[in-house]
A and B are shown apart, each in its own frame.
Chain A
Amino acid sequence: MIVKRNELTWFERLYLPAIIGGLKVTTRHFLNTLTTRTPVTQQYPEEPTKVLPGYRGAPYLVRDQDGATKCVSCQLCEFVCPPKAIRITPPGPNGKPADRTNAEKMPEEFEINMLRCIFCGLCQEVCPEEAIFLKSDFSLTGLARGEMIYNKEKLLALGGTHPGIQKWKHKLDEAKEQEIFPVKV
């Protein structure tokens, strides 16, 4: 497409129409903001921010409806984590057994370095047990670097519960979805 550029008239070349236009716009905004006091900005710490569903905040571990650890220490999230923010210590052959049925083991320690985490959500996507979720927290602070490495206890406390352990039901649904052809959109 060729944009036609009109020759400026002599009046326009005096910069006057542009200046007058600018003066009008700025005066209007100035007076509006001054009198009606409706700035477009949000006063963040005083006005809490609304976090919409689907927001990718900090990843936390969740418990099931019985208060048991969902994570089975499969370490898939540790492998997939692009910035290598997750570190899992598995229980080993003689470690503590899992605190729920239908699980062989649970992690002895589960650490997420929130300084490295990029909130990508791959851990949530890869988790076969629905044990880790990206929650709505976005302003994590600490006075030292060590404070920003969240351990299992802290992550479980922050994550809360994820009721309805529908892991196999969800997996079954997903498998059934795959069978349906053409794929339901």
Chain B
Amino acid sequence: MAWLDSLNPQTQFVFFTLLKIICVLVPLLTLVAYAVLVERKVSALIQDRVGPNRVNLPLIGSIPVLGPFLTRLGIWHPFVDGVKSFIKEDFTPAHVRKIYFWLAPAISLVPAFLIVAVIPFGSTIGAQKMVIADLNVGILYTFGIVSLGVYGIVLAGYAANSKYPFLGGIRATAQMISYEIAMGLSVIPVFLVVGDLNLGRIISYQAQHGWNVFPVLGGGFSAQTLLLAPCGVLSFLIFFIAAFAETNRLPFDMAESESELVSGYHTEYSSMKFGMFFIGEYANMFAGSAMMTTLFLGGWTLPFLGLDQPADSVWMGLLHIGIFMGKMLTFMFIFIWVRWMIPRFRYDQLMDLGWRRLIPLALANIILTAGVVALTNR
């Protein structure tokens, strides 16, 4: 790697950042595609069905046992789905507002990927920190970008210029704005405890003092961890519920609600423009899962076997990435499972839950946590 050392620091930084962007985006898109497959398979199993089992690749399909097994698993469906959405007719209805119609899918897709930039998905490999942008205000950046996500949906609803997308857009606006408040308030206890906005330092704090969701885990038994445990659980639960609402997943998929609004804001979209909304939704779920992992579950650390220290070898670095992925994918699985478990909330129930339950609860939790921190301050 002599040629790398010969570059000046700025060029090296740019090189490594681009490398990390590629190394994050490509697996993320693959994971998104396979999350769709998992969603379809899990829903099939829950509903006593078989699920996707059709696509067979010519060469691999002829391997005796493995080929048919992979086909039955539906492993190749994401590829075929991807090709399909590109070669489908991209239909633009005559009555849409063209510019916004073209802009909306991009606007709903980009924020989901931007959030991933600040997530520390591993400790270190070599001298590189496993995070694309190590911002000091990481969490503020995240919330800023998350708020932008609603514009894609609103714009899609407005651009479609017909009633169901419009209703979907309106619902999405109200829902996402109100749950963003609950989400933001539920994170404040984390800052009170950690005293930092940098996601990397939030993780290293958790490695020393226990996971934010339940500080006894990794922090050991002490007055502070025991007292902070209920606060952590509460703020985690609020964040978790708000994450469902922010990503427009059932039980809060007001913006889509197939049975009422055809398919909500993306009713008029077809082909890859619809595909972009779809990818955006799943990428948002991944971003939400990664945020929950980072803020509450200690990111890439585990409180035993010395896995909470930054990696000193490449293998340890990869292991840390694996731990992070494991936690994130668990959340993804919960996201998917809940969709087939809980029916959709009625719109007024949704608003009631957001404004009259979660927000007061989050405010009370802030005061409670502040009290605990003040009492047991080190």
Q: Please list the residues of chain A having a beta carbon within 8 angstroms of any beta carbon in chain B.
A: 18-19, 22-23, 25-26, 29-30, 32-34, 38-41, 43
Contact = CB atoms under 8 A, between A and B. Distances in A.
Contacts of B342: 18-19, 22
Interface stretch (B45-53, B89-97, B211-219): B45-53
B340 A39 contact: no
A29 B341 contact: no
A50 B340 CA distance: 31
Interface string B12-56: 000000000000000000000000000000101111111000000
A26 B341 contact: yes
15 contacts: A18-B342, A22-B341, A25-B341, A26-B337, A26-B340, A29-B46, A29-B47, A30-B46, A32-B48, A33-B44, A38-B48, A39-B44, A39-B49, A40-B49, A41-B49
Q: How large is the interface on B (under 10, 10 to 19, 20 to 34, 35 or more residues)?
A: 10 to 19
A29 B45 CA distance: 7
A30 B45 contact: yes
B45 A33 contact: yes
Contact of A39 (B42, B50, B341): B50
Nearest to A38: B48
Nearest to A34: B45
Contact of B48 (A22, A23, A33, A43): A33
A83 to B, nearest CB: 28
Interface in B37-78: 42, 44-50
Contacts of B48: 29, 32-33, 38-41
Contacts of B46: 26, 29-30, 33
Contacts of B50: 39, 41, 43
Contacts of A34: 45
A30 B41 CA distance: 10
A33 B341 CA distance: 16
Nearest to B353: A15
* Shortest beta-carbon contacts, A-B, top 6: A22-B341, A33-B45, A40-B48, A39-B50, A26-B341, A26-B46
Contacts of A29: 45-48
Contacts of A41: 48-50
A23 B342 CA distance: 9
Contacts of A43: 50
Contacts of A32: 48
B341 A19 contact: yes
Contacts of A30: 42, 45-46
Nearest to B341: A22
A39 to B, nearest CB: 5
Contacts of B42: 30
A33 B44 CA distance: 9
B43 to A, nearest CB: 10
A50 B46 CA distance: 26
Contacts of B337: 26
B146 to A, nearest CB: 24
A23 B341 contact: yes
Contacts of A33: 44-46, 48-49
A14 B341 CA distance: 16
Given A23-B341, A33-B46, A39-B44, 15 more contacts: A22-B342, A26-B340, A26-B341, A29-B45, A29-B46, A32-B48, A33-B44, A33-B45, A33-B48, A33-B49, A34-B45, A39-B49, A39-B50, A40-B48, A41-B49
A155 B342 CA distance: 52
A123 B309 CA distance: 81
A175 B204 CA distance: 94
A47 B209 CA distance: 59
Nearest to B337: A26
A23 B44 CA distance: 16
Interface string B149-179: 0000000000000000000000000000000
